[in-house]
A and B are shown apart, each in its own frame.
Chain A
Amino acid sequence: MAERETHESDYVPYFLHKGKYPGALGWLLATDHKRIGLLYLACIATFFSVAVIIGVIMRINMLPGHVILTAQQYNAAFTLHGIIMVFLVVIPAVPTIFGNFFLPILIGGRDMIFPRLNLFTWYLFVLGAVLALVSVFFGGGAVDTGWTFYVPFSLKTTVNVPLAVFAVFILGMSSILTGINIVTTVHQLRAPGMGFFRMPLSVWGFYATAWVQILATPIIGITMLLVVMERLFGIGVFDPAKGGDPLLYQHLFWIYSHPAVYIMILPAMGVISDIFPVFSRKNIYGYKMIAFSSLAIASVGSLVWGHHMYVSGQSDTAGIIFSLLTFLVAVPSAIKVFNWLATMYKGSIQVEPPFLYALSFIFLFSIGGLTGLFLGALSPNVQLHNTYFVVAHFHYVIFGGMGFGLAAAVHYWFPKMTGKMYNKPLSVVAWLVVFVGFNIFYFPMFILGWEGMPRRYYDYLPQFATLHQVASIGSFIMVAGLVLVAGNLLRGLVAGARAPANPWGGATLEWTLPSPPGQEDFEEIPVITHGPYEFDKKESGA
């Protein structure tokens, strides 16, 4: 212990560490994985706020008798909301913020394997975001195609499509390089004794996600380039007048964009798998099943894209095959859910904020996942395609799943990242407001869609008024809750109590470091002798 104390005397929190560059440059030129994680956090939090505000404006517009946007403005609003949320928030958030900050620590390394490449991905990310922003204000105005950029409309509309899709191309490059960095880091930087099956399940989540990022993203890259080329030079590959086939665009788009759903959800599932054992004081149930189910989701999920195109004119045979595969991909997701439940069974549960978010993740994700099966079945899809049912479904999966998973991660790792603790009772209240608001907001949309309310319409028939009103009120409650969450975290950052090194009693490596960690993370690279959730061994000092 004496040796350890001498080390502690020269311990400096990573964000106070004096590096090569002073002040803001120390951040803008940082290659330290923790700082890059926070750079991403700052950007993504900003983009998220913008997209939420756009969402609120749309919900005000949908209040009965409150049409405040023109049809064109509404088209631009849902497109921007979608582009920002999908490409700037949901896809990058967990891998770039928490993957960067915690992945090296969780496997006992000192940084990502390619630190400069890591910083470069952030600059690409910012460049993509700036280009997307510029496309809103210049050259014909904000994109009105929806985030899917479907041809032939995206080839005909007068707004600034080329710049927006080029921005997506750049963001894709950023995502690919992050994926390469994560896979290589996991292969090369694991500490001695850290076998693949001693890695925390969050690392498995990041790892499986990184593979999807690497293997799927190039397809959207080329697809977006093709749209740019079509717009600039009239190449004709998607233009029926020149022999092109718009359906092929949809194939190429969804070959990426369906796996992208798993890029969104897998890392969140990984974090959730870390949280349940900690707050149940029990080893995870079915470690290998959860790890392999991540890989199963990543691989089978790459083969289901056609379920977005049942009514687009693909063959019935293709529809049947894609429907079957879609049902299959539900199996590994269900495996995870049952394993989480079994982990809690007979555990000694500690109800803390991260745990509440993790629980609501299961509840909301299950609703989202099961309604996904309605949509994946061929005949209901004819009725439900492009309705509010779809909107409700993917918000339950993405916001209820990934969003609540992200919030769980924030509340779980906040003390480690900042060295401060937020106000726990207030965070429980905030969670409750968000959770209740969320359900009042999105659940009526299932009914609206079932009754035939099409998505992406700026106005509606009178019979839909009541449910739209309920949904809008729910959205206001939810956003109030989000403000409360953000306020509580910011207050914690400024004035919170000092957080101990291991506030939740976790057994993974990040909790062996001081809160916040020092610049080098580990004084000495640890030697791993037990699995990530073996609390008894941890407590007996092994």
Chain B
Amino acid sequence: MNASEDAHAAGRLGIWLFISTEIILFGGLFLLYSMYRLKNPADFHAGSLELNRVLGTLNTVILITSSLCVALAIDSLGKGRTRKSAWFVAATIACAFGFLIVKFFEWTAKFHHGLYPNAKVLLSLPKGENLFFGLYYLMTGLHGVHVIVGIGVLSVMLVRVLRGTITPQNPTYLVNSGLYWHLVDIIWIFLFPLFYLIT
């Protein structure tokens, strides 16, 4: 193995370890979700009905598309088509912004209905629904933070691809950013059914 292959293998191992820590980080929240859902099935059902499935589905489609884009960006880079790769990274970032905008409208609507922690309306509802919305904001919020971080990371990647510091011979950073982005995607793939679909 030559030096750049070594660096690539090291980066790969490092990012996979990092991804496992992220999954465990969310794991704590999934654990709370399971416990509280088990204890309050009816309230979680009622809470789930309050969420907007159309917007949730839209966001799922946006994120899956973005994952496809980042995969295509890596693929194009591997084939030496740097500009095309940059376009796909840009498309990924655009999708990420789209996701956040939809999320913003969703959250705002909930706030207007008084469905946020410590709001009078929510406090008047059963305890289980308080937990449901508490977890909803925590989990989608933490996920949203990861989307924002992803935008930052992918923007750096975009610049580096354009400047030619990420090349077909040395794609590690882009590949690893892509893996991180897939992680962001897959966490949402679990959040979506847990909050929007299971009733």
Residue of B nearest to A223 (CB): B28
For A226, the chain B residues whose CB sits under 8 A away are 28, 32, 138
For B24, the chain A residues whose CB sits under 8 A away are 215, 218-219
Q: Establish whether residues B131 and A236, one from each chain, have CB atoms under 8 Å apart when the complex forms.
A: yes
Indicate if B114 sits at the interface (CB-CB under 8 A). Answer: no
Q: Establish whether residues A237 and B17, one from each chain, have CB atoms under 8 Å apart when the complex forms.
A: no
Among B7-15, B50-58, B93-101, B155-163, the one that faces the other chain is B7-15
Indicate if B117 sits at the interface (CB-CB under 8 A). Answer: yes
Q: Establish whether residues A252 and B31, one from each chain, have CB atoms under 8 Å apart when the complex forms.
A: yes
Considering only residues 195-232 of chain A, those with a C-beta below 8 Å from chain B are: 214-215, 217-219, 221-223, 225-226, 229
Distance to closest chain B CB from A402 (angstroms):
24
Indicate if A505 sits at the interface (CB-CB under 8 A). Answer: no
Indicate if B36 sits at the interface (CB-CB under 8 A). Answer: yes
Indicate if A243 sits at the interface (CB-CB under 8 A). Answer: yes
Distance to closest chain A CB from B144 (angstroms):
14
Indicate if B26 sits at the interface (CB-CB under 8 A). Answer: yes
Main secondary structure, interface of B, reads helix
Residue in B31, B39, B137 whose CB lies within 8 Å of A235: B137
Q: A188-B6, A188-B9, A219-B24 are in contact. Are A236 and B138 (CB under 8 A)?
A: no
Number of chain B residues whose Cβ lies closer than 8 Å to a Cβ of chain A: 35
Q: A236-B117, A237-B32, A243-B36 are in contact. Are A218 and B14 (CB under 8 A)?
A: no
Q: A234-B118, A236-B134 are in contact. Are A252 and B10 (CB under 8 A)?
A: no
Q: Compute how far the CA of A113 lies from the CA of B7 in the bound complex, rounded to whole angstroms.
A: 9
Distance to closest chain B CB from A169 (angstroms):
10
Q: Establish whether residues A184 and B17, one from each chain, have CB atoms under 8 Å apart when the complex forms.
A: yes
Q: Establish whether residues A219 and B27, one from each chain, have CB atoms under 8 Å apart when the complex forms.
A: yes
Indicate if B127 sits at the interface (CB-CB under 8 A). Answer: yes
Distance to closest chain A CB from B96 (angstroms):
22
Q: Establish whether residues B138 and A235, one from each chain, have CB atoms under 8 Å apart when the complex forms.
A: yes
Q: Establish whether residues A248 and B137, one from each chain, have CB atoms under 8 Å apart when the complex forms.
A: no
Indicate if A244 sits at the interface (CB-CB under 8 A). Answer: yes
For A234, the chain B residues whose CB sits under 8 A away are 117-118
For B142, the chain A residues whose CB sits under 8 A away are 225
Q: Compute how far the CA of A219 lies from the CA of B22 in the bound complex, rounded to whole angstroms.
A: 10
Main secondary structure, interface of A, reads helix
Indicate if A187 sits at the interface (CB-CB under 8 A). Answer: yes
Q: A176-B21, A237-B134 are in contact. Are A222 and B14 (CB under 8 A)?
A: no
Q: Establish whether residues A233 and B118, one from each chain, have CB atoms under 8 Å apart when the complex forms.
A: yes
Q: Establish whether residues A237 and B10, one from each chain, have CB atoms under 8 Å apart when the complex forms.
A: no
Distance to closest chain B CB from A188 (angstroms):
5
Considering only residues 100-158 of chain A, those with a C-beta below 8 Å from chain B are: 113-114, 117
Indicate if A245 sits at the interface (CB-CB under 8 A). Answer: yes
For A242, the chain B residues whose CB sits under 8 A away are 123, 127, 130-131, 134
For A215, the chain B residues whose CB sits under 8 A away are 20-21, 24
Q: Compute how far the CA of A168 lies from the CA of B127 in the bound complex, rounded to whole angstroms.
A: 30
Q: Establish whether residues B25 and A243, one from each chain, have CB atoms under 8 Å apart when the complex forms.
A: no
Distance to closest chain B CB from A122 (angstroms):
18
Q: A184-B13, A234-B117 are in contact. Are A218 and B130 (CB under 8 A)?
A: no
Indicate if B150 sits at the interface (CB-CB under 8 A). Answer: no
Indicate if B29 sits at the interface (CB-CB under 8 A). Answer: yes
Interface 0/1 of A230-260, CB less than 8 Å to B: 0001111100001111001000100000000
- Residues on B facing A (Cβ under 8 Å): 6, 9-10, 13-14, 17-18, 20-22, 24-29, 31-32, 35-36, 39-40, 117-118, 123, 126-128, 130-131, 134-135, 137-138, 142
What are 14 sample pairs from A and B whose C-beta atoms fall under 8 A apart? A113-B14, A180-B18, A181-B14, A184-B13, A184-B17, A187-B10, A215-B20, A218-B25, A219-B24, A223-B28, A235-B138, A243-B39, A243-B130, A248-B32
The 10 closest A-B pairs by CB, nearest first: A243-B127, A222-B28, A218-B25, A218-B24, A235-B134, A234-B118, A242-B130, A180-B17, A188-B10, A236-B134
